Amino acid sequence: MEQDKNTPKNSEPTVLDLYKSATKDWASFFNFIQTAWNARRREEFNQALAQETAQPVIVERTEDPIRSDTFPYRTALAFFLALIAQALVEPPLRLSMISVVIYLAAFGVAFWSYQANEWRLPALPPAWQVKDPPSMRLIPLVLSVFFGATAFVLFDGNLFSWTNITLWLISIGLLVYSLRVNTNHQEISTTPLTGNRKWLWYGLILAVFGLVAFYRFYQIDTLPNEPFSDHAEKLLDVYDITQGEPHIFFERNTGREAIQFYWTVMLMTILNTGISFLSLKIGTVLLGFLTVPFIFMLGKEYGNDRVALYALFLFGVASWPNIISRIGLRFPLYPLFLAPTLLYLTRGLRTRNRNDIILAGIFLGLGLHGYSPFRIVPVFVAVIFLIYFLHTRSLENRQQTIFWFLIVVIVSAFVFSPLLRYWLSRPDLVNYRALTRMSGVEQALPGPAWQIFLSNLYNGMLMFNWDDGSVWVNSVVHRPALDVITAALFAIGFVFLIVRYIRQRDWRDLVLLVSLPILMQPSVLSLAYPNENPELNRAGGAAVTSILIGAMALDGLVTSFGSGLKRKIIAYGMVVVLFAGIAYSNYDIVFHQFKDVYDRSTWNSKDMGKVISEFRDTYGQTDTVWIVPFPYWVDTRLPGINAGIPNRDFALWQDQLPESLNIPAPKLFMFKDEDTETERILRELYPNGKLTLYTSPIPGKNFYVYLVEK
């Protein structure tokens, strides 16, 4: 590492700098007042102000590794072996033992190429060494505490109001202002382009974003096609908001955090899509798409502009984040808030920029309002600070680390305070779902907890390259979580990270390594139900760092070919081929394999909703439409939701059918085609009724419609 000293541009103090310096605390304010008549004080104040606004910055630059001049045959062989090894475990082959042997050979050759200066991970961006004294603006800080405490008290009752929301937002704004510093530190782009090359680069980025948008939004109306019971619960929560019940925590169905429901209400109001499955899907797909820019920035933070582009592509078209975004549940909120938290925390620690640390705290607090597996992220943040603390040597830097950690804790607590208020009053409800998975609250653990944990952790770590679990609602079951090419790149990249950390001891490499077992803990800790592990939605945060590692490995693969024109043509031609393979593979996983399994596994409630809508169009009402429940059949709330009736359960149980005689016709009953007993009862009650079989194109989805007109 080499060190430079840089002085930021525009170092002349401005009026704003003067104001901030004079009001950052009481001592500064009184010192500023005395400058009016005390020349010595005035000179000291001016010197301190100049030092604050023009502080020299020491930059620790990490040089790119020197590449070999020979053709990278070791690199090519290592990558080829990794691809073969990964292809052998794809369904239906699943040749695990042969794959392990070939992977070990690939790792050996990859290490050989590393030693020969062929395949190396991209250099990490330079670290900045700049002081950040623990200063703050006292008056805004005191006011933020006052407004925050008042809002905290008013959050009692589990309801948002204009009053408590306003006070809460004011408290956060004042807190951020009290902690924020004025900085002019600017980094030099890792790809300094000019002229046509610059516009070509921007055009390439826009093209990749466009492709990502296609993968994320294509067929959103029909993929997935049918809702299931969880969607009924979520839409009832959305309905509660429209009926004037703006909850902080939604207690229905073991409880849920709030962000998705308010997001859905906003979108359905703007798009006029109503309380529908489509509204849920549009909302979560947009949340998943909003994650992508942060992945791009993470690529720059852990590499360079090329890594950013590779990460954008790999994550954008990957089936894992695509599927969990399409389901219409809260799943994408985990990676959405993890990505900026990791980005700003890493960048803030690297550049010693307190403002980035504040942003990390904001996104950490927001994420806790999103999806319950995000609750592992505060642990991850604490681990990052611990790693950074152990890797910095000076007492001053360690003191700064503690100060920054306190900033993240305080800022995230302010943002989290509405749910924190409810959590303190009802910890049983907020913790219920997690406790039922981690302990024997609902059922006894199937073995010793430590053995189940180690087994789950082992299976979780194999998720990326071997088996993503058995949960069909958010994955193509029993296949690797990553496609063949990305999985091979991830495996090689993970090994290279270990090697580089052993040699260079950079804290950022260790952060990426430990991120995987930590971020999948919400899945791993399913001790009472180990068959639910691995589960892609609960381990969704690991998609961010695993794909980022794959992008870093891809950049090392490309740069191993050297800088000559012919070598570059070969290298980037290879990238085009790999991108085409990745795009095709993930398209097939999402739009063919997943679609087929999902359609066969869900009930056709949309068809029943159409029958209800047709009855309403013909007879002007739906009060005399019922669905007779049958074991393991459709959730009887969903057909009504599909018909635009979100607040009614259409169930009429078999033993309740005689009660319908007291209600005037017309009447309509729907029941499972296997339910011969319901057919018998209806024929006895209504001998003049008309029985029709509704035939579905998917085998096993037929149902009967029994119409009584008189």
Q: Which residue has the higher pLDDT, 439 or 644?
A: 644
Residues 270-327: tens digit of each pLDDT: 999 999 999 999 999 999 999 999 999 999 999 999 999 999 999 999 999 999 999 9
Positions of E strands within 286-344: none
Three-state SS string over 37-61 comes to CCHHHHHHHHHHHHHHHCCCEEEEE
Q: What is the pLDDT of residue 182?
A: 84
- The first and second tokens of residue 440, run together, are 């024997």
* Cα distance between residue 688 and residue 61, in whole Å: 86
Nearest to 579 by CA among 594, 558, 559, 563: 558
Q: What value, to the nearest 5°, has the Cα angle with vertex 511 and ends 505 and 513?
A: 90
Name the least confident of 17-31, 187-201, 315-329.
Answer: 17-31
H-only helix segments in 505-564: 507-519, 521-524, 541-559
Half-sphere exposure of 403 (CA within 13 A, CB side): 18
Q: What is the pLDDT of residue 11?
A: 44
Name the least confident of 125-129, 284-288, 505-509, 644-648.
Answer: 125-129
* Cα distance between residue 589 and residue 572, in whole Å: 25
Residues 214-225: tens digit of each pLDDT: 999 999 999 999
Report the 10 Å Cβ neighbour count for 609.
Answer: 21
Q: What is the pLDDT of residue 1?
A: 47
Q: What is the pLDDT of residue 403?
A: 96
Name the least confident of 12-16, 80-84, 359-363, 493-497.
Answer: 12-16
Helix (H) or strand (E) run with residue 128 in it: strand 127-129
Q: What is the pLDDT of residue 211?
A: 98
DSSP 8-class letter at 592:
I
H-only helix segments in 560-674: 565-588, 595-601, 605-619, 638-642
Are 705 and 692 spatial neighbours (Cβ–Cβ below 8 Å)? yes
179-198 average pLDDT score: 70
554-570 average pLDDT score: 92
Confidence of residue 51 (pLDDT cuts 50, 70, 90): low
Q: What is the pLDDT of residue 528?
A: 93
Residues 400-443: tens digit of each pLDDT: 999 999 999 999 999 999 999 999 999 999 998 888 888 877 78
* Cα distance between residue 516 and residue 550, in whole Å: 13
Are 296 and 311 spatial neighbours (Cβ–Cβ below 8 Å)? yes
Whose structure tokens read 């018909």? 643
- The first and second tokens of residue 342, run together, are 């990791």
- The first and second tokens of residue 148, run together, are 């925050």
Q: What is the pLDDT of residue 190?
A: 54
Nearest to 286 by CA among 248, 336, 237: 336
Are 438 and 528 spatial neighbours (Cβ–Cβ below 8 Å)? yes
* pLDDT at 63 > cutoff 80: no
Instruction: Indicate the residue type of 562.
Output: G
Q: What is the pLDDT of residue 197?
A: 84
Confidence of residue 57 (pLDDT cuts 50, 70, 90): low
User: Strand, helix or coil at 197?
Assistant: helix
* pLDDT at 370 > cutoff 60: yes
Longest dimension (CA), the chain: 106
* Cα distance between residue 281 and residue 459, in whole Å: 30
User: Strand, helix or coil at 532?
Assistant: helix
Residues 477-524: tens digit of each pLDDT: 999 999 999 999 999 999 999 999 999 999 999 999 999 999 999 999
Burial (CB count <10 Å: 0-12, 13-18, 19+), residue 526: buried
The whole-angstrom distance between residue 420's C-alpha and the CA centroid of its chain comes to 21
* Cα distance between residue 111 and residue 108, in whole Å: 5
DSSP 8-class letter at 555:
H
- The first and second tokens of residue 206, run together, are 């826009």
Confidence of residue 9 (pLDDT cuts 50, 70, 90): very low
* Cα distance between residue 325 and residue 331, in whole Å: 7
Report the 10 Å Cβ neighbour count for 669.
Answer: 26
End-to-end CA distance of the chain: 88
* Cα distance between residue 398 and residue 523, in whole Å: 33
CA-based R_g, the chain, Å: 29
- Interhelix angle 15-23/39-53, rounded to 10 degrees, is 110
- The first and second tokens of residue 614, run together, are 């047709």
User: Strand, helix or coil at 368?
Assistant: coil
Q: What is the pLDDT of residue 8?
A: 42
328-356 average pLDDT score: 97
Name the least confident of 175-189, 228-242, 623-637.
Answer: 175-189
- The first and second tokens of residue 411, run together, are 């800022």
Nearest to 460 by CA among 511, 383, 516: 516
* pLDDT at 10 > cutoff 50: no
* pLDDT at 14 > cutoff 80: no
* Cα distance between residue 265 and residue 275, in whole Å: 8
* pLDDT at 542 > cutoff 50: yes
Are 513 and 501 spatial neighbours (Cβ–Cβ below 8 Å)? yes
